[in-house]
A and B are shown apart, each in its own frame.
Chain A
C-alpha cells in the first residue's frame, strides 16, 4: 500500500483547516482525514461565543499588539510570547479568510464582521455568529473540504502510531463500521483530536468523545506532553448537566448573583466584574459556594446567572441557543428566571508539546488545536482564543506537513503489527473471573479528579487522587467488553477511550502535585501565590515504564515582562 502523504487524525476545526491548507500548499498530495465521528459532529461545533481577532471593526482603536498583551496576561505569563505573536497577528487574516469562503458571521451596521466584548480582553474583538460561531465555522470548513475533495475516513478510531526509531511510519486504526483494523502508512501524521477535559466526566462540559485520544496515542509512542495540569473550569456550566452557558451571555451583560442577591464579582474583580478572566471567575463562584453563599438543590450547590434585565428581544436574537438549552436541560427560561450555574471542566490548556509549526518531539508527527500545546494559552486561556488557536495552528501544521511530506519515504506497516493490534483488542472481550464495568470506572475517574484535582488543589488531596487513579488503572485491567461483535462496537470504543483518559489523568495529577504555586487555572491552596522564581516554566511529561517522567522547559519571553495579574 502506497503511504499517504499526510494522515490527519481528527475532523474538527484544526484537522479540517490543516487538510484544506495542505491541499492548497500542494494539490498533488494524497491526504486522508480520519475521524471517529462524522467531521461535522466535532466538538468545534459547541464553541458558542466566537473567535478573537483585532479587526478593529467595533473598537476602532483595537490593535494586534493589545490582543497579544491580553493573551499573555490572561495566560498568567506562561504562554510563549513568540507563539502568541503568531496567533494574534494571523488572527485578522484567518477570520477574513473564513469570511471569504462563506462563514456566516453576524454583521455590524456598516456591514463588517460583528465583534463583542469577551472576558479578559481590553477591546470588543470577539467575532461571532449569534451563539453558534463554532458550529458555523465547522460547517463552513467541512463544506469547503467537500468542495476540494478531501478524502475522509469517517468513523475510524485511531489506535496507535507505528514508530521507526525516531520517526513515525503512520498509524493503525479501527474502522468502526466494520470493526476491521487497518494500517495507514503515512509520511506525516497530524493529531487534531481535541481536548481531554472529559476525563472529569460528569463535571465537564465536553462532548462524550473528548477523551484526549491524540494526546494518549502520542504519549504512548514516547512523544512529550506539556502543561497537562492546566485544565480550565468554565464559570457557568448548567447545574444539572455541566453543559455550558457561553461567556457571550456575560459579554452581553449578564449578572452573576449569589443567594444573598449580591453581584459578588465586585469582591473579586471590581473593575471587570463578570467579564474577568475565566480562572478568576470560576474561583470566585467556587469560593461563594464554599463559603455558603450559594443556592442549595438536590443536584448540588449553585449560583445564578441572571439575564432577565437584558430583555426578551436581546436574549432571543443574540442568545437563542442558550435559551433553548436552559429550557431543555434545566427547565428554565432565562427571559423569566435566572439560570442555575456552577463551574465545569471545559478546556485543556495542556497537550502534545509542539513548536510554533505544530512539530512534536517525533519526526513526522504534528499536533494542532486543543490537542497540542504550542503554548499560546499558558496557564489560562482567554475566551475566544480557542477557535482562533485551532484555525491558526491547524493551518500552520497543514502547511508544514505538506512541505515535509515529500522528503521522507516510510517503511511499510507490516501485517504482524496489524494482527497484534487485533489480538490486543480481542483480549478485552475474553471472559475472566472477576470483571469491571467501564461505566462506573469512568464516573469514578471524573469524581476523583473533580474532588482532588479540581479548581482548588492541595498536596494531600492530589496524592489521594494519584492513588485513586492508580487503583482505577488496576481495575481497568479487569474491564470486560461484553459486545463481542465487529460491527459498530461502541462498547469496545468507549473502553478504549477510557484507557486514553486514564493514561492522561496520571499526567494531570502528577503535574498538579509538582507545581507548587498558583498560576492561572492551577490553584494550590497550600501554595496560594504565583512563584516566578521556581515555577515560571512549562512542565513536560514523557512516558517511562508505566508512568510519566516529568521535565521542564523555559517559557519563551518577549517584550512583556512578568507582572502581577489583576483585573
Chain B
C-alpha cells in the first residue's frame, strides 16, 4: 500500500465529545453526555456529530444544512468558543481541550435554548426588523428594474466585508453585553446596520441611526472584541461598531446621547490631561442629577470599601507628551475632516 494509506491509519484515535443535552419534554435541566468514537484525521466536528447521530444516538439534536460554511446553521460552542461545526477540524480542537481528549460541545449562548444544541433564532430576526436591517431604496419600487445605480468600486469595498455575514450568530453568542442585557442590539445587527448605512442607495440612514443611538443600542458596546474574535467569516465587526459611533457623533453631535458625551469626555481628558478623570466621567456623560440618583449610592459603597480611584496626579508636560498631544489633535482633525467629506458626498 502507498505511504499515504499507512499515514492515514496512524492518524486515527478515540475522541470524546462531551455534548450538552436538554429535552424540554423530559429534562428539568441540561446535562452532558459523553460519546467516545474512533475518528480519522481530517474530519470536521459536524461530521463527527453526524456519525454519533447516525450510529450511536439518534436523538442527539443539532442544526446543519449546507455543511460547507456558507449557510450558518451549525453554529455552536466548541471548547468554549462559538463557531461553525462544519468548518472546524476535530484535530485542531484536540489542542484546545481543557480536559485532554474531551471536546466540549454546547449550544450558542444568549439565545433561548430549544433542545440539545438548538437555540431559538427568532429574537435575532426580531432585532433585524427593529433596526431596519434592509436597504430602503432611494428609487421608488415602481421604477425598479429600469436602470442601475452607479456604484463605485470604492463604495462597494465599504460594505463588501460586512456582506459576508451569514447570520450564524456566533458573535451574538460570544457578546459580553448580551450576557447582561438581552435587549442589547447585538453585534450582528450592528454590523448589518452599518452595512446599510454606508450604502448610497439607502434612503433611511438618519432614521436607522436614530434607533441605533437609543438605549440598548450602539453605545452599550464595551469593546471587548469577542464578536470579532469569534466571527467565522473574519469580519472586522468592531470597525462597523466604531463606524456607526463616528457617524453618530459627526451627524448628530455629541450632546445627543450619553454614549456620545461619554466618548467626548474621554477625548477631552486624554487630550488635555493625558489621563482619564474617572470621578467626573459619569457627571460629564449623564449629568449631575442622573449621577446623584444612580451612582452616588454606589460611590459611597466604593469609598467605604476603599475602591475609589485616587484623583489623577498632575502630569507635567514633557516633550513626548506634547508630541503625543499634537498627534492626537491632528488625528481628531482628520476624523472630523473625513466626516465632513462623507456627509458632503
Give residues in A with beta carbon < 8 Å to B. 24, 37-38, 40-43, 45-46, 93-94, 96-97, 99-102, 104-107, 109-113, 129-130, 132, 135-136, 139-140, 143-144, 146-147, 154, 177, 207-209, 240-241, 243-244, 296-298, 321, 324-325, 328-329, 331, 437-440, 481-483, 485-491
Give chain B nearest CB distance to A456 CB in angstroms. 26
Contact with A along B90-107 (1 / 0, CB 8 A): 000000000000000000
Give chain A nearest CB distance to B116 CB in angstroms. 8
Determine which of A94, A106, A329 lies in contact with B145 in the assembled complex, contact meaning CB atoms within 8 Å.
A94
Q: Give Cα A193–Cα B196 distance, bound, in whole angstroms.
A: 29
A46 near B71 with CB under 8 A, answer: yes
A488 near B145 with CB under 8 A, answer: no
A100 near B201 with CB under 8 A, answer: yes
Q: Give Cα A109–Cα B150 distance, bound, in whole angstroms.
A: 10
Known: A38-B121, A485-B59. A107 touches B153 (CB 8 A): yes
A96 near B147 with CB under 8 A, answer: yes
Closest residue of B by beta carbon distance from A442: B54
A298 near B118 with CB under 8 A, answer: no
A487 near B146 with CB under 8 A, answer: no
Q: Which residues on the A side are within 8 Å of B143 (C-beta)?
A: 100
Determine which of A101, A110, A241 lies in contact with B67 in the assembled complex, contact meaning CB atoms within 8 Å.
A241
Q: Which residues on the B side are within 8 Å of A94 (C-beta)?
A: 145
Q: Give Cα A241–Cα B129 distance, bound, in whole angstroms.
A: 36
**26 pairs across A/B with beta carbons < 8 Å?**
A24-B141, A37-B71, A43-B65, A43-B66, A43-B71, A46-B71, A94-B145, A100-B149, A101-B135, A102-B201, A104-B199, A105-B151, A106-B156, A111-B153, A132-B164, A136-B163, A146-B133, A208-B65, A208-B67, A298-B5, A329-B68, A437-B58, A439-B53, A485-B23, A485-B25, A487-B23
Closest residue of A by beta carbon distance from B1: A298
A111 near B152 with CB under 8 A, answer: yes
Q: Which residues on the A side are within 8 Å of B141 (C-beta)?
A: 24
Most buried by B among A113, A140, A487: A487
Closest residue of B by beta carbon distance from A40: B167
Q: Which residues on the A side are within 8 Å of B4 (C-beta)?
A: 297-298
Give chain A nearest CB distance to B36 CB in angstroms. 19
In chain B, positions 60-117 with a C-beta closer than 8 Å to chain A are 61-73, 87, 89, 114-116
Give chain A nearest CB distance to B26 CB in angstroms. 7
B67 near A488 with CB under 8 A, answer: no
Contact with A along B20-48 (1 / 0, CB 8 A): 00011110000000000000001010000
Q: Is B137 an interface residue (CB 8 A)?
A: yes
Give chain B nearest CB distance to A89 CB in angstroms. 12
Known: A37-B73, A94-B145. A325 touches B68 (CB 8 A): yes
Give chain A nearest CB distance to B3 CB in angstroms. 11
Q: Give Cα A93–Cα B128 distance, bound, in whole angstroms.
A: 28
Known: A112-B150, A143-B135, A177-B114. A488 touches B61 (CB 8 A): yes
Q: Give Cα A491–Cα B44 distance, bound, in whole angstroms.
A: 21
The 8 closest A-B pairs by CB, nearest first: A102-B135, A439-B54, A143-B134, A111-B150, A483-B59, A97-B145, A482-B58, A93-B145
Q: Give Cα A486–Cα B136 distance, bound, in whole angstroms.
A: 40
Q: Is B55 an interface residue (CB 8 A)?
A: yes
Most buried by B among A40, A42, A331: A40
Give residues in B with beta carbon < 8 Å to A. 2, 4-5, 8, 23-26, 42, 44, 53-55, 58-59, 61-73, 87, 89, 114-116, 118, 120-122, 125, 128-129, 132-137, 139, 141, 143-153, 156, 159-160, 163-167, 196, 199, 201-202
A109 near B153 with CB under 8 A, answer: yes
Q: Which residues on the B side are within 8 Å of A296 (C-beta)?
A: 2
Most buried by A among B2, B4, B44, B71: B71
B58 near A481 with CB under 8 A, answer: yes
Q: Which residues on the B side are within 8 Å of A241 (C-beta)?
A: 67-68
A240 near B42 with CB under 8 A, answer: yes
A490 near B61 with CB under 8 A, answer: yes
Q: Which residues on the A side are within 8 Å of B149 (C-beta)?
A: 99-100
Give chain A nearest CB distance to B256 CB in angstroms. 26
Q: Which residues on the B side are within 8 Å of A107 (C-beta)?
A: 151-153, 156
Give chain B nearest CB distance to A226 CB in angstroms. 27
B70 near A99 with CB under 8 A, answer: no
Q: Give Cα A208–Cα B163 distance, bound, in whole angstroms.
A: 24
Give chain A nearest CB distance to B122 CB in angstroms. 8
B72 near A132 with CB under 8 A, answer: no
B144 near A100 with CB under 8 A, answer: yes
Q: Give Cα A55–Cα B53 distance, bound, in whole angstroms.
A: 48
A485 near B72 with CB under 8 A, answer: no
Q: Which residues on the B side are within 8 Å of A97 (C-beta)?
A: 144-145
A488 near B71 with CB under 8 A, answer: no
B72 near A41 with CB under 8 A, answer: yes
Q: Which residues on the B side are within 8 Å of A93 (C-beta)?
A: 145-146
Q: Which residues on the B side are within 8 Å of A147 (C-beta)?
A: 132, 134, 136
B202 near A487 with CB under 8 A, answer: no
Q: Which residues on the A side are within 8 Å of B24 (C-beta)?
A: 487
Most buried by B among A104, A106, A109, A489: A104
Q: Give Cα A239–Cα B58 distance, bound, in whole angstroms.
A: 28
Give chain B nearest CB distance to A145 CB in angstroms. 9
A41 near B61 with CB under 8 A, answer: no
A491 near B59 with CB under 8 A, answer: yes
Q: Give Cα A87–Cα B166 distance, bound, in whole angstroms.
A: 29
Determine which of A42, A135, A482 lies in contact with B59 in the assembled complex, contact meaning CB atoms within 8 Å.
A482
A143 near B148 with CB under 8 A, answer: no
Most buried by B among A97, A132, A321, A490: A490
Give chain A nearest CB distance to B305 CB in angstroms. 47
A104 near B144 with CB under 8 A, answer: no
Determine which of A101, A112, A135, A177 lies in contact with B166 in the assembled complex, contact meaning CB atoms within 8 Å.
A135
B55 near A104 with CB under 8 A, answer: no
B132 near A113 with CB under 8 A, answer: no
Known: A97-B145, A99-B149. A45 touches B66 (CB 8 A): yes
Determine which of B26, B58, B63, B146 lies in contact with A491 in the assembled complex, contact meaning CB atoms within 8 Å.
B58
Give chain A nearest CB distance to B285 CB in angstroms. 34
B159 near A104 with CB under 8 A, answer: yes
B71 near A102 with CB under 8 A, answer: no
Closest residue of B by beta carbon distance from A92: B145
Determine which of A37, A46, A331, A481 lies in contact with B70 in the assembled complex, contact meaning CB atoms within 8 Å.
A46
Closest residue of A by beta carbon distance from B46: A208
B159 near A100 with CB under 8 A, answer: no
Determine which of A96, A324, A489 lies in contact with B69 in the assembled complex, contact meaning CB atoms within 8 Å.
A324
Given A37-B65, A101-B135, A437-B54, output 11 extra A-B contacts at Cβ < 8 Å.
A43-B71, A100-B143, A101-B144, A105-B151, A132-B70, A139-B165, A177-B114, A207-B66, A207-B67, A297-B4, A325-B69
B65 near A129 with CB under 8 A, answer: no
Known: A104-B163, A483-B58. A488 touches B118 (CB 8 A): yes
Q: Give Cα A40–Cα B4 distance, bound, in whole angstroms.
A: 40
Give chain A nearest CB distance to B64 CB in angstroms. 6
Q: Give Cα A489–Cα B145 distance, bound, in whole angstroms.
A: 43
Known: A107-B156, A146-B125. A96 touches B144 (CB 8 A): yes
Q: Which residues on the B side are within 8 Å of A46 (C-beta)?
A: 66, 68, 70-71
Q: Which residues on the B side are within 8 Å of A139 (C-beta)?
A: 163, 165
Give chain A nearest CB distance to B302 CB in angstroms. 45
Q: Give Cα A46–Cα B141 distance, bound, in whole angstroms.
A: 28
Q: Which residues on the B side are within 8 Å of A207 (C-beta)?
A: 65-68, 71
A100 near B134 with CB under 8 A, answer: no
